[in-house]
Amino acid sequence: MTGKGNYRFFWYCVLAGGLALGSMPLFARTIAFGPLEMLGGAILAVVSLICLRKPRRIRLPYRRTLS
């Protein structure tokens, strides 16, 4: 049961890191690597949103038949 919570927590942390990395050139003077940092942050944010949106596979319990 804790696996689902850890999965979502990981992708929320990746989303926060991607947003922080993407917005870093706005607050720091990184002219040379600014576009690369923004691109990397955008890629991380998009991937994390896709993984948070996709539902995990739910395993149904095995049903016994009375035969």
- Distance (Å, whole) CA 47 – CA 22: 14
Kindly report, residue by residue over 9-48, the tens digit of the pLDDT.
999 999 999 999 998 888 888 778 888 999 999 999 999 9
- Distance (Å, whole) CA 18 – CA 16: 5
Contact of 41 with 22, CB cutoff 8 Å: yes
pTM: 0.69
Residue partners of 65: CB distance under 8 A and separation at least 6: none
